[in-house]
Amino acid sequence: MNTQINEVRSDIGEEAPAFRLEKMSIAYSGNVAVSGVTLNIPQKQLMALIGPSGCGKSTILRSLCRLNDLIPGVEVSGRISLFHEDIRQMDAIAVHRRVGMVFQRPNPFPKSIYENIALGLRVNGYRGRIDEMVERSLQQVALWDEVKDRLRSSALNLSGGQQQRLCIARALSLQPEVILMDEPCSALDPIASLRIDNLLNQLKQYYTLVVVTHNLQQAARISDSVAFFNTNNDNGRIYGTLAEYGPVVQVFSEPQKKETYDYVNARSN
């Protein structure tokens, strides 16, 4: 079992960041949702995105993997680069391959457990042995022992926590460089949610993880660094900005800004 407490890493920004956002703004049909975000997301670490509802955390996450392309009228300005490549110059499918996404509500495909993982491998033209990959991915999320006897039964019969771990396994099986998670535990009970936390603590040794969470204890348990976003009200136009980001200890115990201090302390007492 891994330890619950993170060793503090102080190397933010020293290695090349996985994602580099420069003056990124996102608007839905002309309404700005997020404005002027400049942020480096370090490799092989877990960055938590926190902030009040509506500050644009989901919007940012969806833009990082170009899922917002699906919504007409979304405009992203500024630059988002994945290992120095502008993701908007890249092929969208290549971005989806390299950047995995886990959603707030578990969304397994209405197919068998096996097929949930095999489908991703197949659509991407995976040449290796699919059976092995399915087993490996399920083992990585500690789901293998629970489901190995019913791989052919529907994934929709799993519990919420199992479904979410399956969705994480589905993302892992494609060996992405980054995995984005939008409140992955918000639909789960505390025990299932703790299992996911443990899992994330292990995964971050191999993957770059970006996790949106409303649960500050969770953020403290799992993250290496934290980015705090806040909503701004500019004459009735409400949009989110990045207030501050840094190592988890710094943001929680010595925040640079009062708004961060207020948000971080409002819930813990």
Partner 1 sequence: MQGEELDLSAIVKDVQMRKSISIRKFWDVLFSFVALSFLILGLAILLLLIFQLFVDGRGLLFSWSFYTSFPAPNAAEAGILSAFVGSLFVICVTVLFAIPIGVAAGVYLEEYAKSSSSPAVRILTDFIEINITNLAGVPSIVYGLLGLEIFKETFKLGNSVLTAGMTLGILVLPVIVVTTREALKSVPSTLKEGSIAIGASKWQTIWDLILPASIGSILTGVIVSVSRAIGETAPLITVGALTFIAFLPPLPFSDRFAPDPQTGELVRAGQYGLFDWLFSGYTVMPIQMFDWVGRPNPEFRVNAAAAGVVLVLLTLVLNSAAIFLRIYFRRRIKW
Ligand X SMILES: Nc1ncnc2c1ncn2[C@@H]1O[C@H](COP(=O)(O)OP(=O)(O)O)[C@@H](O)[C@H]1O
Tell me the residue length of the chain: 269
The least CB distance from residue 212 to Mg ion, in Å, is: 6
Q: Of partner 1, Mg ion, ligand X, none, which one does residue 261 interact with (CB within 5 to 8 Å by kind)? A: none
The least CB distance from residue 192 to partner 1, in Å, is: 19
Sign of CA dihedral 169, 210, 1, 220: negative
Rg, C-alpha atoms of the chain: 18
Do the beta carbons of residue 205 and residue 44 sit within 8 Å? yes
- Count of Cβ atoms closer than 10 Å to residue 148 Cβ: 13
The CA distance from 104 to 120, in Å, is 19
Do the beta carbons of residue 228 and residue 51 sit within 8 Å? yes
Q: Of Mg ion, partner 1, ligand X, none, which one does residue 223 interact with (CB within 5 to 8 Å by kind)? A: none
Q: Of ligand X, partner 1, Mg ion, none, which one does residue 59 interact with (CB within 5 to 8 Å by kind)? A: ligand X
Q: Of Mg ion, partner 1, ligand X, none, which one does residue 161 interact with (CB within 5 to 8 Å by kind)? A: none
Q: Which residues bind ligand X (CB under 6 A)?
A: 28, 33, 53-59, 71
The CA distance from 226 to 253, in Å, is 12
The least CB distance from residue 140 to partner 1, in Å, is: 16
Q: Which is nearer to Mg ion, 33 or 95 (CB)?
A: 33
The CA distance from 79 to 87, in Å, is 8
Do the beta carbons of residue 177 and residue 18 sit within 8 Å? yes
Candidate residues 20, 44, 97, 204; the one interacting with partner 1 per rule CB under 8 A: 97
The contact pattern for partner 1, residues 19-58, with x = CB under 8 A and - = no contact, is ----------------------------------------
Give per-residue burial for 89-113: e unless 16+ CB within 10 Å, then b: eeeeeebbbbbbbbbbebebbeebb
Regarding 110 and contact with partner 1 (CB under 8 A), the answer is: yes
Binding site for partner 1 (CB under 8 A): 65, 67, 70, 72, 93, 96-97, 100-101, 103, 105, 107-111, 119-120, 123-124, 154, 156, 167, 170-171, 174
